[in-house]
Structure 1
């Protein structure tokens, strides 16, 4: 390589590499940071600097001293519109103090200054500030949708919103691993003056095809140098979401409104919106307890789907159980890729069922009985539906009973959400537990819907009769208890008369013993 070539290459490298160069105070772009009025001896602190008004004189001067870290840096005698500058050649923390107003009143009697002041504006060296404007066309990209753009399009513009020129501005865009399809991801600008902007850097990125939704953080980073060759870095960021490359869309539909005597029809449609075929997709459609499956239909199956394929996978009928508004369960479709399971769900359609819903309840007022006892039987008729219905009931006298009084028939309109009742009294003649038969009701509404309902079957237990032994013992015990009380009273009033009366032959033995005693005493007297 020739000497000229080496010299030329050296000059090129010298131009590209930032280098430290001296600059004068005339090259500095200043940033105003504070305006303050100082009296004689006052100080003000800005960053690491202390600015002091040390003295004034009648000739129109204010003596300003600048200190840094308690060390003298420079000083100046300022007239109005003068300034003093300290050029920091080590760190570039340059500072300027400008006298924008002076107050130098002189006392006419003494000839001395009266409270002189100086209004100063304090500046420091301005710095560049780059605003990195990163724009991406969309926040979310779905590769399965035709409406999604083919590429991720973006652009970056840099504006210098600072107080000084920026030199050697370098822009780099980090795409978080997304491949570049067109355009550039780097840009170099020699300099940007205050308020100046770069030309937009445009680029296109490939939309990645993923099995899982993922967020990508795009970062545009700009670096620049100031007049002191200090490097400054600025960022602009944007997070975008990439949705999965394959998605199963399940659409579950159902008849929206039916009557109690009608049938609801359900269909389940599945669509593979992705660009890839899927195999072994497990489809499951749960059933609700609020409606009955009309036919024996298999609601769980495994299918395969081609890319962009749409097919109806289930159709079945449901029978209503009771009126109301019900939400059907969501259907699910599940497949596994690389050991990870993915599940998609359908919507949950609602169905409204109209009509009367009659509920019968049969009650009795006793739980046990003795033959010959009466029982009150009450039948309540409740309409839990949303339509009125005419209800007819004809009760019969059950075996083992006889009718006493009351009403055993019912024929009336029972309004929706209301309850009516009737009752009658029976004599129970059985000598065993009884189970009353269910009450049967027939109903018809204005729509011609009719049906039949039955009630519960209440049970009444026969009371257990007491055995003769237990009855005798019970009576003896009660009598003894009563006698014991009365005998106590008798003993208190007449000694042991009741006790003697209870032992036959007692008087004879007493008489014999008395005679024996008399005979013994007689013999003693004779002796």
Structure 2
């Protein structure tokens, strides 16, 4: 039994030996693959894979410049070749390495090296399809038709851009046209007068490159790296790959890279480091990679990719609230809870920096340990300083604490950075007290109604105890100055009382005091605003006054004549003028009659 098994496996091995290649060996080509171009002077070397070439001698004195090239394989000397740029411009070693001379001039020899390979070049273009007389199959610019058919062979006509061809095909035969199309006979159906063929086209590389920074944002002292992925999405190997990496600022640690071969559907991933000097301002950095390569025939292929990321300034500031966090990562606190706000300032520069820092909080937050949110400090090189202060929120709700700002000077210019704005959710009680009067002006002895209102604007039930005061000059007529209650969220309690004032004057009614306790048994006291009032004296009418027995009136107190008005003065002047005019006019007339009487 064992002997039969040995025989069986021997037959299998013999079959693979006799037919070492698959049925698709016709898709492969025996090709010379470009390995690189070099310019070498006497004594200089070029290495490609396992081969090294050395220029032993270079003669430019002769009419036809020539050189002697030594070939080493795995560092062992193999052969010396005499070459020139004329008839001896190509040499092949061991059917594995081809040396082609392009030029010999200026003390240099320019050579191109090729390696011998067996590569799959032809790729299926049209799957098995039937072909009968009168039917034309189109594959791009090529027209294929059947002209004759027998049981063993067929005649196929191919019209190409370069001409028309007709060939005889036996089963499994294949023919190439213009090195752009291959036709292969797959099957002959004599009964139905049909031939089944496949068409093939030369494959092509399809290079794709993707450059991915490890983050969208970097701090000035963060290590910056990019992931470079080069993929060949084509059907033919990409060879002689060169990669150039550039950045708008800074230098890649690997500016130039090379790959020998990238097979179809193969991806190569590389990590690239990038060094960028720190600066006072944040800026956008652009990085670009360019990939070039060729196929076995020397056709070139290119791909490029550009990405951007943000690099922060050498001063960095963060702002955080130390407290409890919700399930969603949001800071939470209770009303009147004391919270610590932390500012961290990091200097990533090589020199110390003097910073002016300002911050802000919502109006309903009360500062506990400082009066101003402004500081000036020096941060040493590559050090971090911390600023902290305590605040207490008084109103429930969702709040955004403003951004803190740090500013500094460098070479006469002012720079600044801002922190993020942390979010805070405040839960708890919030009681508001209000005190009003029905009138702010009253007479002595007049009733004044004082209204007290306490509202729970928070989100928790509270127990409130209220106490009010009145001035000494006022008397409580009705109502009470103290009472207690429980207030649900959104509920308001209102009370009122009446007072009278016994003396006139200006008064400030004291603020209403409200003490309350929330569900956490936290005691808080709030006050209303004071109320300003004016109390006037009572006015007694003349009818109510008793007549006096007698009165002595001072002459000095007698009523004085009123001043002459402009109209009265003008009337006086006019009448005076008329009187004077009449007198002046009468005198000449009287004189005239007197003279007349005397002389007549």
TM-score of the pair, normalised by structure 1:
0.60
Query: 1:81 is paired with a residue of what secondary structure?
Result: coil
Which of 434, 451, 454 pairs up with 2:525? 451
Q: Which residue in the other structure is 1:415 paired with?
A: 487
8 Å Cα contact 1:173/1:186 also seen in 2: yes
Name the structure with the higher strand share. Answer: 2
Distance 1:166 1:444, change over 3 A: closer
| Distance (whole Å) between structure 2 residues aligned to residue 258 and residue 28 of structure 1 | 73
Which of 336, 341, 345 pairs up with 2:415? 341
| Distance (whole Å) between structure 1 residues aligned to residue 229 and residue 454 of structure 2 | 76
Structure 1 residue ranges without an equivalent (≥5): 21-25, 106-114, 461-527
Please state how far the C-alpha of 1:34 moved relative to its aligned partner: 0.4
Q: Which residue in the other structure is 2:135 paired with?
A: 42
8 Å Cα contact 1:96/1:123 also seen in 2: yes
Distance 1:351 1:254, change over 3 A: farther
| Distance (whole Å) between structure 2 residues aligned to residue 392 and residue 50 of structure 1 | 103
Deviations 1:29-65 (A, max 9, x none): 3221003223321112111112123x34455554322
8 Å Cα contact 1:132/1:159 also seen in 2: yes
Distance 1:181 1:421, change over 3 A: closer
Matched, 1:383 2:456: yes
User: Which piece of structure 1 moves more, 394-403 or 204-213?
Assistant: 394-403
Matched, 1:116 2:193: yes
| Distance (whole Å) between structure 2 residues aligned to residue 375 and residue 143 of structure 1 | 67
Distance 1:248 1:321, change over 3 A: same
Please state how far the C-alpha of 1:357 moved relative to its aligned partner: 2.2
Deviations 1:252-280 (A, max 9, x none): 556776774x86555544221x1422434
Q: Which residue in the other structure is 1:51 paired with?
A: 144
8 Å Cα contact 2:431/2:526 also seen in 1: no
Please state how far the C-alpha of 1:246 moved relative to its aligned partner: 1.6
Please state how far the C-alpha of 1:289 moved relative to its aligned partner: 1.0
Please state how far the C-alpha of 1:251 moved relative to its aligned partner: 4.3
| Distance (whole Å) between structure 2 residues aligned to residue 119 and residue 291 of structure 1 | 86
How do 1:128-167 and structure 2 match up within 5 A? 128-129=204-205, 131=207, 138=214, 142=218, 144-145=220-221, 148=223, 162-163=235-236
Which of 460, 466, 470 pairs up with 1:392? 466
| Distance (whole Å) between structure 2 residues aligned to residue 308 and residue 237 of structure 1 | 34
Please state how far the C-alpha of 1:83 moved relative to its aligned partner: 3.6
Distance 1:81 1:6, change over 3 A: closer
Distance 1:75 1:244, change over 3 A: same
Q: Which residue in the other structure is 1:96 paired with?
A: 182
How do 1:150-299 and structure 2 match up within 5 A? 162-163=235-236, 169-176=240-247, 178-179=250-251, 181=253, 185-187=256-258, 189=260, 207-211=275-279, 212-227=282-297, 229=298, 231-235=299-303, 237=305, 239=307, 241=309, 243-244=311-312, 246-253=314-321, 260=336, 266=341, 268-272=343-347, 274-294=348-368, 297-299=371-373
Distance 1:326 1:237, change over 3 A: closer
Please state how far the C-alpha of 1:134 moved relative to its aligned partner: 7.5
Query: 1:175 is paired with a residue of what secondary structure?
Result: strand
Query: 2:314 is paired with a residue of what secondary structure?
Result: coil
8 Å Cα contact 1:160/1:194 also seen in 2: no
Distance 1:72 1:387, change over 3 A: same
Q: Which residue in the other structure is 1:68 paired with?
A: 160
User: Aligned pair count?
Assistant: 421
Matched, 1:80 2:157: no
| Distance (whole Å) between structure 1 residues aligned to residue 390 and residue 231 of structure 2 | 64
Please state how far the C-alpha of 1:236 moved relative to its aligned partner: 6.1
Matched, 1:127 2:203: yes
TM-score of the pair, normalised by structure 2:
0.54
Structure 2 residue ranges without an equivalent (≥5): 1-59, 68-82, 90-98, 103-109, 325-332, 535-600
Please state how far the C-alpha of 1:127 moved relative to its aligned partner: 3.3
| Distance (whole Å) between structure 2 residues aligned to residue 307 and residue 79 of structure 1 | 83
| Distance (whole Å) between structure 2 residues aligned to residue 454 and residue 197 of structure 1 | 77
8 Å Cα contact 1:253/1:268 also seen in 2: no
Deviations 1:219-274 (A, max 9, x none): 242322444x5x221336474747346232334556776774x86555544221x1
| Distance (whole Å) between structure 1 residues aligned to residue 433 and residue 183 of structure 2 | 96
Distance 1:49 1:156, change over 3 A: same
| Distance (whole Å) between structure 2 residues aligned to residue 315 and residue 154 of structure 1 | 39
Please state how far the C-alpha of 1:288 moved relative to its aligned partner: 2.9
Q: Which residue in the other structure is 2:404 paired with?
A: 331
How do 1:296-375 and structure 2 match up within 5 A? 297-312=371-386, 314-318=387-391, 321-322=394-395, 326-337=399-410, 339=413, 341-345=415-419, 348=422, 350=424, 357-360=431-434, 362=436
